[in-house]
Structure 1
Amino acid sequence: MTKYILAHDIGTSGNKATLFSEDGKLIGSHVVSYDTDYFNGTWAEQDAEDWWKAVCLTSKKLISSLGINPQDIAVVSFSGQMMGCLCVDRKGNPLRKAIIWADQRAQEQVAQIENHISQKDFYHIVGHRNTASYGIQKLMWVRDHEPDIYEQTYKTLNAKDFIVARLTGNFYTDYSDGNSNGCFDLANLQWSEEIITYAGIDPDKLPELKPSTFVAGEVTREAAEATGLAAGTPVVLGGGDGVTASVGAGSISPGKTYCSIGTSAWVTTAAEKPIFDDEMRTVTWAHIVPGLYAPNGTMQTAGGAYQWLKNTIGQYEMHQAEESGRSAYDYMNAQIEQSPVGSNGLIFLPYLLGERAPRWDADAKGAFIGLKSENQRGDLIRSVLEGVTMNLSIILEILRKQVSIEEMIVIGGGAKGAVWRQMMADIYNAKVMVPNLLEEASSMGAAVTGGVGVGLYKDFNVIHQFLDINHTHVPNPEAVSAYQPVKELFDECYFALKDVFAKMAK
């Protein structure tokens, strides 16, 4: 009898429940959305009960719509948004709304830590910079501004850990999500006593650390009634969404690299040790695969820049799309093909929301540079994709200093267009491979992690049963050579305007 794996991907906009058969086939998925409260300029919160309701609804919907016997689900596993702070009591009930990854309120708490440890030393312990994005700084904010909540807090959890607690009654986190708390000793895979001391946080408020494949418990009777799952179903921890995506994209051995292009984008590889950049431009995550790390660089606005272009400059293409029933991007891509490498001398800086890797510059702005009267519409469109890809190529070159990378898998909505994929191959000077499922990497990674956790699979190499490569793009040597001076000019343009951007921000 076929066994199934239920993977939940608890994202920022909603929860996606995905059912896979044990042989790696996607059986079905269902999404339930929820809201985010954005306020006070830099604050972002979600109601954790909305996560739970979404998990219950999507589980029931999948089971009923597919006619699956809940007893045939061998394991439930998770991928979830990272870098959050949800304070819960001893029963696992939320004491306040979750402060999610996008929240930047904890600037004073960042400074408190910096009074004791330099950015460089922090970076070499955690693999990340000390910023307001991470969990420990957010918990410090709760301590400083909501002391009653802090005192009542039994544990602080990330999204998937809260759902695991609801399903099993047990409080754990895995190494990848522990890493996203900002007080994690990356080399030893344990909480950093040094940073916790500097932060002035009670370490007992942090959950116990376990591998991602750890069986956290079984679905309780109460949880079974709420979700439609069978009581006693094993629950595997899973990992943070950025790291489960590494598994789902096949980045499970040293040098195996992938690029994810959605609204934001990142390049991640796998390595046997953390990769520390002298300028701290990249970060390193604890990998889900034992013995590996996931060095990474994430930029703010990738597909988001292309979407911005469509919505502002691409009104004509949007009209064409409405008339024909096709995508506006099809018409934009056709114009890109009429523009040469380098967009006829036009450079686009894709920093519409500031920038994380490789700039770490909140003041950075977007810019078209080098506009001339002979530039055509296709040049503007092409320059946007080139700018995003050249920014990602800087991240790739940092990783290449320590890891040999000659090919990569590309996933996400940006991988749908053949024009952009070939551009990536030429700018990255790497073979670009496109899998059959572009939007399921996190879910597949969670599913494989669950299967390994309960012994359904021997090891993570089973991901190759899930992944089929549909397209491969090989670098064009002439384009690779032509892009080299353009990449150098792209970098020079940012540094030439860096001080200008800072003045504009004031």
Structure 2
Amino acid sequence: MSRDVVIGVDVGTYETKGVAVDAAGQVVAQAARPHRLSVPRPGWAEHDADEVWWSGLVNVVRDLLSDDAVEPGAVAAVGCSAIGPCVLPLGADGSPLRPAILYGVDTRSTEQIAALETRLGREAIMERSGNTLSTQSAGPKIAWLRDHEPDVYQRAARFVTSQTYLVGKLTGRWVIDHGTAGYFHPLYNLHDAQWDTSGCEDVVTAERLPELGWASDIAGVVTPRAAEVTGLPAGTPVIVGTTDAPAEAVSAGITQAGRLMLMYGSTIFMIEMLDRPTPYPDLWSAPYVFPGSYVLAAGTATAGSLTQWFLDVVTPGADVHTRPEWFARLADEAATSPPGARGLIALPYFSGERTPINDPAARGTIFGLTLSHTRGDIYRALLEGVACGVRANLDAYADAAAAPELIRAVGGGTRNEVWLRAVSDSTQRTQEVAAHSGASFGDAALAALGVGVLADRAAVDTWVRVSRTVEPDPTRAEVYDHLYQQTTGLYRATRHLMHDVNVTPDGANP
């Protein structure tokens, strides 16, 4: 039996994962449960908070505690993370009033973004929050509820994000970390590190938002009711937690300024740790998980979700059990296609695009198809399209005078060697691939910090391991430079058409 075990649980877009980690940073048990993303309308993305988030946590925790290597009484603390920022309206009793509106992949709030920009001014929003408004912003999503579901809006006692709901169910306290609150723009003041709803009082007041804390702060302890459901001992400390991407960054050892995490998940998410706020219009600036630390972040709208879409299209009979085998087969086929995918260009904007173009009306394109192209060519083109998106974001970091000194790659996509090499060859940057990484591992590390199992953030590095290094191939630089120019040129040439097809005859967005 392991003593001083910490548990980390992360709820992702398509799967909930959990780990139990001992004091030496060794994973002694792990568990996962798949779930589905709901897309009730084009541009919408939702989760049922109880059926997906809470059920996922409960089942994963029970699976971990049933492992012979974990003794429930030895659990020192629990940490939770989840996708975000999300908007979930709760009634006075803490019950969800509707499914949660997810992060930037949900693009329904474009009209509210425009209205808030007109009211407050883009420069004033940038000054307050360190960001311009985008579909990643939680504030406009709350405004959308006010405008389109007024009954839900009026009955909502508070608006929370994903890990806030999990921690609330475990402890009875509704709290959010500063890092996630930093994405509730324009409702959070980056410089004062507090809620600032001035000019937005008709959208929400601070009283209807969660309490603020830092990710490794103790939010409370497991209540008797939560203990009965999860199997965790009542009184177990629970930290505030954070969003999945910062938790994954912690798992990769992003504990010093200049280090950047490149997460291959349902989207690509990039987090560079900085020691001061560095707002840049095309990227996202927010606090990080440690007091006095900040991030400059970036994110595409699709990545793993795009590969999952392609798998569903070409193998409609595949289920959750055969996905790994099918993804391996597709990667093998893509490896037989040369760099540049024999002339195919893919714009991976199948759910709009986030940074650096911040265009929710962008749409996916596979350009240059002929009868000679194969499934492997198309799959490679999609991977290379995402790789070009990574390059565009790294160029934005350089423009912001924040080019990273080190890149650590994490996430399920790192198992795809073709994808990893396409990114390194496109960007001509080295990637270190973190072993035993994952947001749930980062949650466990933050929980260990919260209760003193780890002394300080420098000690997190003792838990982090690098499995391999992916070096760029300089002989492919010219091919990928040309592909990158073609990709950016294709977007510029077709942007007006994308926006046209996103307007119905009555002038409304579909």
Compute the TM-score of the two structures, normalised by the length of structure 2.
0.86
Offset from partner CA, 1:38-76 (integer Å, 9 cap, x none)? 435444444333333332332223212335322210101
Tell me which residue corresponds to 1:385. 383
Tell me which residue corresponds to 1:408. 407
Distance 1:272 1:368, change over 3 A: same
Tell me which residue corresponds to 2:31. 30
Offset from partner CA, 1:431-478 (integer Å, 9 cap, x none)? 1111223xx421121111111111111222333333321211222333
Does 1:488 find its partner at 2:485? Answer: yes
What are the residue-to-residue correspondences of 1:68-467 with 2, within 5 Å? 68-101=70-103, 102-131=105-134, 133-144=136-147, 146-147=149-150, 149-182=152-185, 183-197=187-201, 199-277=202-280, 280-308=281-309, 327-336=328-337, 339=338, 341-369=339-367, 380-401=378-399, 402-437=401-436, 440-467=437-464
- The DSSP-based 3-state class of the residue aligned with 1:78 is strand
- For 2:38 and 2:340, the matched residues in 1 are separated by 41
Preserved contact between residue 109 and residue 137 of structure 1 (Cα < 8 Å) = yes
- For 2:203 and 2:128, the matched residues in 1 are separated by 17
Deviation at 1:482, TM superposition (A): 4.7
Aligned-residue CA RMSD (Å): 3.2
- For 1:404 and 1:96, the matched residues in 2 are separated by 41
Deviation at 1:190, TM superposition (A): 0.9
Q: Which moved more, 1:261-270 or 1:136-145?
A: 136-145
Q: Which moved more, 1:105-114 or 1:174-183?
A: 105-114
- For 2:97 and 2:367, the matched residues in 1 are separated by 49
Preserved contact between residue 87 and residue 96 of structure 1 (Cα < 8 Å) = yes
Q: Which moved more, 1:398-407 or 1:72-81?
A: 398-407
- For 1:92 and 1:311, the matched residues in 2 are separated by 36
Distance 1:130 1:168, change over 3 A: same
- For 1:104 and 1:348, the matched residues in 2 are separated by 21
Preserved contact between residue 29 and residue 70 of structure 2 (Cα < 8 Å) = no
Tell me which residue corresponds to 2:21. 20
- The DSSP-based 3-state class of the residue aligned with 1:68 is coil
Preserved contact between residue 264 and residue 304 of structure 1 (Cα < 8 Å) = yes
| Aligned AA (1:98) | A
Deviation at 1:244, TM superposition (A): 1.2
Between structure 1 and structure 2, the one with the greater Rg is: 1
- The DSSP-based 3-state class of the residue aligned with 1:252 is coil
Deviation at 1:203, TM superposition (A): 1.9
Preserved contact between residue 37 and residue 45 of structure 2 (Cα < 8 Å) = yes
- For 1:380 and 1:145, the matched residues in 2 are separated by 39
Q: Which moved more, 1:86-95 or 1:292-301?
A: 86-95
Give the total of aligned pairs. Answer: 494
Deviation at 1:149, TM superposition (A): 4.5
Offset from partner CA, 1:136-166 (integer Å, 9 cap, x none)? 3333344445555445433322121122222
- For 2:405 and 2:341, the matched residues in 1 are separated by 25
Compute the TM-score of the two structures, normalised by the length of structure 1.
0.87
| Aligned AA (1:22) | A
- For 1:165 and 1:313, the matched residues in 2 are separated by 41
% identical aligned pairs = 27
Deviation at 1:418, TM superposition (A): 2.7
- For 2:161 and 2:98, the matched residues in 1 are separated by 13
Distance 1:152 1:384, change over 3 A: closer
Q: Which moved more, 1:343-352 or 1:67-76?
A: 343-352
- For 1:258 and 1:445, the matched residues in 2 are separated by 12
| Aligned AA (2:298) | G
| Aligned AA (1:68) | V
Deviation at 1:427, TM superposition (A): 1.7
Unmatched segments (≥5 aa) in structure 1: 316-320
Distance 1:326 1:54, change over 3 A: closer
Preserved contact between residue 13 and residue 266 of structure 2 (Cα < 8 Å) = no
Deviation at 1:212, TM superposition (A): 0.9
| Aligned AA (1:264) | T
Distance 1:361 1:448, change over 3 A: same
- For 1:326 and 1:16, the matched residues in 2 are separated by 19
Offset from partner CA, 1:169-195 (integer Å, 9 cap, x none)? 222111122123221112222112435
Offset from partner CA, 1:370-412 (integer Å, 9 cap, x none)? 5679878765554333222112101011112312325412222
Preserved contact between residue 454 and residue 460 of structure 2 (Cα < 8 Å) = no
Preserved contact between residue 243 and residue 294 of structure 1 (Cα < 8 Å) = no
Preserved contact between residue 350 and residue 387 of structure 1 (Cα < 8 Å) = yes
